[in-house]
């Protein structure tokens, strides 16, 4: 393992990586730091091609020491799809989608769970507790089952039913709360204090972000180490966008990439847009969003612990933050499905809605290479599709095809 230490991005305090630790003494998240000179000497980017197509191909940039502690279900190396039909239709001939919907558990949360649970196993942690909007808890439950670690999950009662079933069938201790993820977080915090469980909440441990940063590593590799111009990411807790930025910084430090970073775009719903409002006001942290509500349940996070890191990534890459309406999200979900055959989650569809706005405003230029991050499968959100096909009798004939565009 090439980890050198854990570091606080807020007060610059450092900690030994072999200690079981949650947050910095100042209350900020901790980030894993590597001896990048040693990594560069040990591996060359060209050698990655011979490795298995999962996120562990980047093992030198991950915080798990022993191979035996890796809990792997095949996560990683998801396709980067050129949207050949839709892109030209919306004025973006170089439009791509990174599709996390085919990863184990059906969402990008599997990346964080794989690395976070593997590191917990290596450190001898026996129980992980997490508040969740659904998919992160489901992923944690699955990987904890594979690792032999107990998972305790608290999610809002309004969370989608499929992640709830995933938690239950894998043997996690599942609890529902009549409230938001912030309320679930308070319950988990009390339990952690009472029982000494390890808190796996977003950014309250240093290791899940390391799994999610592999999206950035993969995008760089899949583009032949030539970066796109824009990456749009659906942002709730913000770990994905923080992780992608961290990955790019590490690759640049090793000399694996050169030039300007992609402009990072945080995409939120108008029903819960604390990052967007903070960016509009040029703030370094967001304010709690009251009465948060959106059908893109995964990004219903009224106040993210790592909001200052999300905003820093946006500012440093000359990016922006965009809020879209739920109606726009549903329209984009249908557009991606009908034009490209991709059934994406509402959070992923939100990135297309945001891209369309930014093209209209001239912020994204037609010639630019743009990547949408779809963070999960639409199959996990069947409630977003409403259809009433005609019912035929056995003797009926089908009508002729309707005209298509």
pLDDT tens, residue by residue, 63-111: 999 999 999 999 999 999 999 999 999 999 999 999 999 999 999 999 9
Task: List the alpha helices (DSSP H) in 291-386.
Answer: 307-316, 326-340, 346-361
Which value, to the nearest 10 degrees, does the dihedral of the CA atoms of residues 16, 19, 21, 26 take? Answer: -30
SS3 10: coil
| pLDDT score for 387 | 84
Instruction: Pull the structure tokens for residue 235.
Output: 């942002």
**Is-contact 151 173, C-beta < 8 A?**
yes
- Along the chain (405 residues), what's the average pLDDT of each consecutive run of 10 residues? 95 95 96 98 95 96 96 96 97 98 96 98 97 94 98 94 95 95 95 96 95 98 97 96 98 96 98 98 97 92 95 98 97 96 97 98 97 96 87 94 68
Q: Which of 232, 249, 355 is nearest to 299 (CA)?
A: 232
pLDDT in tens, 289-319: 999 999 998 899 999 999 999 999 999 999 9
**Residue with tokens 């039913």, as numbered in its chain:** 161
Instruction: Pull the structure tokens for residue 50.
Output: 């011979």
**Is-contact 233 371, C-beta < 8 A?**
no
- State how far the Cα of 331 lies from the Cα of 346, in Å rounded to an integer: 10
| pLDDT score for 405 | 56
| pLDDT score for 401 | 87
> What domains can you pick out in the chain, each with its CATH number?
80-106+210-380 (3.40.50.1100)
- State how far the Cα of 178 lies from the Cα of 183, in Å rounded to an integer: 8
- State how far the Cα of 207 lies from the Cα of 22, in Å rounded to an integer: 10
**Is-contact 225 232, C-beta < 8 A?**
no
Looking at every residue in the chain, the average pLDDT score rounds to 96
Classify residue 404 by its DSSP letter: -
């Amino acid at each position: 393992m090439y980890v050198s230490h854990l570091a606080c991005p807020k007060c610059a305090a450092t900690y030994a990586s072999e200690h079981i630790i949650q947050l910095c003494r100042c209350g900020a998240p901790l980030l894993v730091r590597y001896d990048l000179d040693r990594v560069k000497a040990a591996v060359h980017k060209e050698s990655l091609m011979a490795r298995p197509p999962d996120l562990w191909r980047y093992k030198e940039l991950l915080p798990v020491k022993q191979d035996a502690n890796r809990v792997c279900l095949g996560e990683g190396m998801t396709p980067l799809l050129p949207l050949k039909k839709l892109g030209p239709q919306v004025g973006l001939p170089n439009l791509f989608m990174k599709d996390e919907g085919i990863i184990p558990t059906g969402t990008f949360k599997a990346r964080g769970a794989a690395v976070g649970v593997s590191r917990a196993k290596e450190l001898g942690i026996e129980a992980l507790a997490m508040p969740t909007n659904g998919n992160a808890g489901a992923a944690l439950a699955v990987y904890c089952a594979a690792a032999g670690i107990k998972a305790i999950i608290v999610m809002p009662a309004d969370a989608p039913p499929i992640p709830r079933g995933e938690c239950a069938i894998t043997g996690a201790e599942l609890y529902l709360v009549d409230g938001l993820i912030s309320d679930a977080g308070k319950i988990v915090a009390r339990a952690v204090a009472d029982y000494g469980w390890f808190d796996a909440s977003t950014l309250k441990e240093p290791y899940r972000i390391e799994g999610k940063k592999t999206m950035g590593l993969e995008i760089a590799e899949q583009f032949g180490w030539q970066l796109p111009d824009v990456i749009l990411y659906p942002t709730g807790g913000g770990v994905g966008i923080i992780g992608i930025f961290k990955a790019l910084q590490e690759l640049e430090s090793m000399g694996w990439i050169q030039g300007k970073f992609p402009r990072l775009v945080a995409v939120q719903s108008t029903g819960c847009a604390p990052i967007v409002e903070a960016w509009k006001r040029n703030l370094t942290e967001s304010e709690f969003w009251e009465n948060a509500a959106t059908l893109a349940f995964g990004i219903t996070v009224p106040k993210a612990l790592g909001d200052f890191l999300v905003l820093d990534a946006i500012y440093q890459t000359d990016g922006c933050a965009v809020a879209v309406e739920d109606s726009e999200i549903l329209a984009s979900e249908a557009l991606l499905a009908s034009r490209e055959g991709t059934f994406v989650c509402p959070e992923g569809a939100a990135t297309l809605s945001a891209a369309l706005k930014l093209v209209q405003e001239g912020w994204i230029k037609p010639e630019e290479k743009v990547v949408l991050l779809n963070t999960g499968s639409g199959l996990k959100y069947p409630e977003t599709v409403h259809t009433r096909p005609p019912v035929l009798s056995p003797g009926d004939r089908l009508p002729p095809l309707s005209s298509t565009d």
